């Protein structure tokens, strides 16, 4: 077969296999047997191997996987991937409907859909081909998992028809069907591995696997339910779903249009029972305004759309016996009581442990060893104790006392006023805290030193080589070579041994050296300062630009930064007040760690708003609030959350809160409109 013949045959096979994939994985209506399908796929794989120049990025063979991804690149969402507001009551659904009617003033139709219990994903298509797949992440940016998403056979790599937009994004949920979940766990048990707790965790873990061929073997699936933006010509959400189905996407057949509360409640009541007959997990129902112009008018809050809400099904409960309580120490020193239970089946999994959260919860529940307690899965994932069957309490059951000393280092515990948790203050001498901080420092979203994972931090700590993150950069070949540790397992014949041989040591040292290029915002997050997560670290780093300026910042300067409240400000000031932390920073600086932001990373379009601070409030015509805030930052301005005498402008849209306007008037803060703001930018 020559190249021309091969090209023709590859095109025929690709088209035929796509159709069969759609019939089998999307429509659940196969038209040929597995053997015949495998023969077609094997022929295509063989031809692409013989003529690699003819292999296309949207070939059906991509579903087989094989690409290795060492690190998942972070990608900023074109449109923020917001979460939905949740409710568990019919009353709040009625209140939601009343708000919608009041704002729109029109007749409103809703679309009710199943709320899939999976992992949110956004797919971008260009000219009908899948270009990128990004997880939710923090809602602003997520991980590029394109190579793994391509292995999911129900997701089209090339769209059907020709009436789709030239470029668009579609969002949905990646799930693991029950059959795939059970098969996977059976295999894990055979291999001596712990089974996954639930399908959602398994789906999430699968998407982050480095070997896409392994992901392909897990048989993930996906449902799609939303086209963000205005790149499409449709007037309603339901039209979007219908069109997406015609392009080859798996759209739930259970989505329905409703006009009244009664129809919405009928849908909820039906699926609260029928969900147990589905081949996959759902944890509620989503109600959306159907008309897209009404959606636009309703707009968004900072975290969720105003035109949609999710009704969460009440969690399942079970009764079991409390056998004992253990107290665990986290990396921040917080003490968490964990209940050890008589194993009980709950929401599809066996529950053996449950969190008791803190001393106040223990006291409020009056829980005691030997009690029959009621366990619930909060969000159908995390088990928690919600009550005690006092009628079955043993006569000799004694009140459960919260410990007064750390179970690991015997330090007297402390409790900050206004907080519920007890803490071990011995952060530099308490083993779980030290190891927890080190594990946080090397984690993927922090310094990303994956060569130090899998128990290696514990080995270094046990050998007295590391006590803080700066110690990592003092490690040498001679320190590491030959270290080893054997970990006990449930099967004594399969104890796991970690040895630091030549390759392991080289990988560790290379990983430490590479981490010196990690940007300051991630370094700041890696330091593990209390209350500073990824997003807050990014805002602080971009605002102050260096650790020196952050260290010198006063309380009022910190709280002026968007999303930085009093609690975070106090935590930062407290952290920098300790000489040991200043010494740590100095050692990291000597090691070559990035402790200032590269100005080229903090992109600016102009400095026209330099020195100006804005409070953005209300609903806008031409921009969303997030887009306005981003535009302000791109032109050198700063966003703050509340009005003060230092505010330069209140950028006001429709439905702005009256209190903000009143405060702006009182402080003589200029109130500008969206048009005024655009004119300021164009004046440059």
- CATH number of the structural domain spanning residue 353: 2.40.50.140
Task: Mark whether 47 and 137 lie in a shared domain.
Answer: no
At residue 310's C-alpha, the angle toward residues 304 and 314, to 5°, is 135
If we measure between CA atoms, which residue out of 371, 364, 337 comes closest to residue 353? 337
Give the whole-angstrom CA distance, residue 551 versus residue 298: 42
In this structure, the number of other CB atoms found within 10 A of the CB of residue 368 comes to 19
Distance of CA 646 to the CA centre of its chain: 35
pLDDT digits (tens, 9 = 90+) for 203-250: 988 898 877 888 888 889 999 999 998 888 899 999 999 999 999 999
If we measure between CA atoms, which residue out of 385, 390, 422, 388 comes closest to residue 407? 422
Cβ contact 81:62 at 8 Å: no
Task: Mark whether 328 and 184 lie in a shared domain.
Answer: no
Task: Mark whether 176 and 283 lie in a shared domain.
Answer: yes
> How confident is the model at residue 96, as a pLDDT?
92
Plot region of 194 (φ>0 → left; ψ -120 to 50 → alpha; else → beta) = beta
Q: Is residue 419 part of a domain?
A: no
Residues in Cβ contact with 56 at an 8 Å cutoff, skipping those fewer than 6 apart: 14
- Cut 0.75: pTM above it: no
> How confident is the model at residue 463, as a pLDDT?
95
- CATH number of the structural domain spanning residue 492: 1.10.150.20
Give the whole-angstrom CA distance, residue 583 versus residue 369: 46
Q: Which of 7, 115, 303, 580 is catalytic?
A: 115
Give the whole-angstrom CA distance, residue 67 versus residue 17: 21
Largest Cα span, the chain: 87
Residues in the chain, pLDDT under 70: 28, 34-35, 65-70, 187-195, 197, 347-348, 377-382, 488-495, 562-563, 599-606, 682-684
Catalytic: 503?
no
Give the whole-angstrom CA distance, residue 637 versus residue 623: 17
Cβ contact 325:356 at 8 Å: yes
Task: Mark whether 135 and 168 lie in a shared domain.
Answer: yes
Task: Mark whether 190 and 137 lie in a shared domain.
Answer: yes
Task: Mark whether 99 and 185 lie in a shared domain.
Answer: yes
Last residue of a domain, one of 361, 392, 423: 392
Task: Mark whether 122 and 254 lie in a shared domain.
Answer: yes
Cβ contact 251:245 at 8 Å: yes
How many domains, in total, are found in the chain? Answer: 6
Helices 566-576 + 579-591 axis angle, to 10: 80
CB-count burial class (<10 Å; 0-12, 13-18, 19+) for 610: exposed
Cβ contact 606:684 at 8 Å: yes
Task: Mark whether 471 and 583 lie in a shared domain.
Answer: no
Cβ contact 321:370 at 8 Å: yes
3-state secondary structure 269-330: HHHHHHHHHCCCCEEEEEEEECEHHHHHHHCECCCCECCEEEEECCCCEEEEEEEEEEEEEC
Distance of CA 273 to the CA centre of its chain: 29
Cβ contact 290:112 at 8 Å: no
Q: Is residue 665 part of a domain?
A: yes
- In the 8-state DSSP scheme, what is residue 163? -
If we measure between CA atoms, which residue out of 279, 307, 315, 284 comes closest to residue 114? 284
Q: Is residue 271 part of a domain?
A: yes
- CATH number of the structural domain spanning residue 20: 1.10.287.610
Task: Mark whether 133 and 258 lie in a shared domain.
Answer: yes
Give the whole-angstrom CA distance, residue 280 versus residue 114: 11
pLDDT digits (tens, 9 = 90+) for 387-428: 999 999 999 999 999 999 999 999 999 998 777 789 999 988
Q: Is residue 412 part of a domain?
A: no
Q: Is residue 476 part of a domain?
A: yes
Q: Which domain holds residue 546?
A: 520-591
- In the 8-state DSSP scheme, what is residue 642? S
If we measure between CA atoms, which residue out of 656, 655, 649 comes closest to residue 677? 649
Task: Mark whether 82 and 194 lie in a shared domain.
Answer: yes
CB-count burial class (<10 Å; 0-12, 13-18, 19+) for 180: buried
């Amino acid at each position: 077969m020559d190249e021309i013949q091969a090209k023709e045959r590859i095109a025929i096979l690709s088209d035929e296999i796509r159709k069969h994939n759609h019939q089998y994985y999307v429509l659940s209506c196969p038209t040929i047997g597995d053997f015949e399908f495998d023969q077609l796929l094997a022929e295509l794989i063989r031809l692409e191997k013989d003529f690699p120049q003819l292999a296309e990025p949207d070939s059906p063979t991509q579903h087989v996987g094989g690409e290795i991804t060492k690190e998942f690149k972070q990608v900023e969402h074109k449109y923020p991937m917001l979460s939905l507001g949740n409710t568990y009551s019919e009353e709040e659904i009625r209140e939601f409907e009343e708000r919608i009617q009041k704002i729109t003033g029109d007749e409103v139709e809703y679309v009710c859909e199943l709320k899939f219990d999976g992992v949110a994903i956004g797919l971008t298509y260009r000219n009908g081909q899948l270009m990128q797949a990004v997880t939710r992440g923090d809602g602003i940016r997520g991980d590029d998992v394109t190579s793994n998403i391509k292995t999911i056979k129900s997701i089209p790599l090339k769209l059907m028809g020709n009436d789709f937009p030239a470029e668009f994004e579609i969002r949905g949920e990646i799930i693991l069907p029950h059959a795939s979940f059970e098969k996977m766990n059976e295999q894990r048990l055979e291999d001596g591995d712990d089974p996954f707790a639930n399908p959602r965790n398994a789906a999430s873990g699968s998407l982050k696997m480095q070997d896409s061929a392994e992901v392909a073997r897990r048989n993930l699936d996906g449902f799609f339910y939303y086209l963000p933006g205005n790149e499409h010509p449709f007037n309603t959400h339901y039209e979007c779903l219908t069109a997406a189905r015609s392009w080859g996407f798996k759209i739930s057949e259970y989505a329905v249009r409703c006009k009244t509360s009664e129809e919405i409640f009928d849908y909820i009541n039906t699926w609260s029972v029928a969900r147990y007959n589905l081949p996959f997990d759902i944890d509620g129902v989503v109600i959306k305004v159907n008309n897209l112009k009404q959606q636009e008018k309703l707009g968004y809050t900072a975290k969720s759309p105003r035109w949609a809400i999710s009704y969460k099904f009440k969690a399942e409960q079970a009764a079991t016996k409390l056998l004992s309580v253990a107290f665990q120490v986290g990396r921040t020193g917080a003490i968490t009581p964990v209940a050890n239970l008589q194993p009980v089946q709950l929401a599809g999994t066996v529950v053996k442990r449950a969190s008791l959260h803190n001393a106040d919860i223990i006291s409020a529940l009056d829980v005691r060893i030997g009690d029959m307690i009621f366990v619930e899965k909060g969000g159908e994932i995390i088990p928690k104790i919600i009550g005690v069957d006092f009628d079955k309490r043993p006569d000799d059951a004694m009140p459960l006392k919260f410990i007064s000393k750390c179970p690991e280092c015997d330090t007297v515990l402390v409790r900050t006023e206004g907080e519920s948790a007890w803490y071990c203050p011995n952060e530099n001498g308490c083993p779980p805290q030290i190891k927890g901080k080190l594990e946080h420092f090397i984690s993927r979203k922090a310094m990303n030193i994956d060569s130090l994972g899998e128990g290696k931090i514990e080995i270094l700590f046990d050998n007295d080589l590391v006590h803080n993150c700066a110690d990592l950069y003092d490690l040498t070949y001679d320190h590491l070579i030959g270290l080893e540790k054997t970990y006990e397992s449930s099967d004594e014949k399969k104890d796991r041994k970690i040895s630091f041989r030549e390759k392991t040591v080289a990988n560790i040292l290379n990983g430490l050296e590479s981490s010196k290029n990690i940007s300051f915002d991630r370094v700041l997050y890696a330091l593990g300062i209390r209350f500073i997560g990824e997003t807050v670290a990014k805002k602080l780093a971009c605002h102050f630009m260096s650790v020196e300026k952050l260290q010198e910042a006063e309380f009022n300067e910190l709280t002026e930064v968007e999303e930085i409240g009093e609690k975070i400000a106090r935590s930062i000031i407290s952290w920098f007040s300790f000489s040991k932390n200043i010494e740590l920073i100095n050692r990291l600086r000597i090691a070559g760690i990035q402790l200032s932001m590269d100005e080229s990373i903090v992109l600016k379009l102009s400095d026209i708003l330099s020195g100006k601070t804005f409070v953005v409030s209300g609903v806008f015509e031409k921009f969303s609030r997030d887009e306005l805030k981003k535009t302000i930052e791109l032109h050198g301005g700063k966003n703050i959350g509340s009005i003060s005498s230092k505010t330069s402008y209140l950028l006001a849209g429709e439905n702005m809160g009256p209190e903000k306007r009143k405060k702006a008037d009182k402080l003589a803060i200029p109130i500008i409109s969206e048009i005024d703001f655009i004119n300021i930018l164009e004046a440059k």
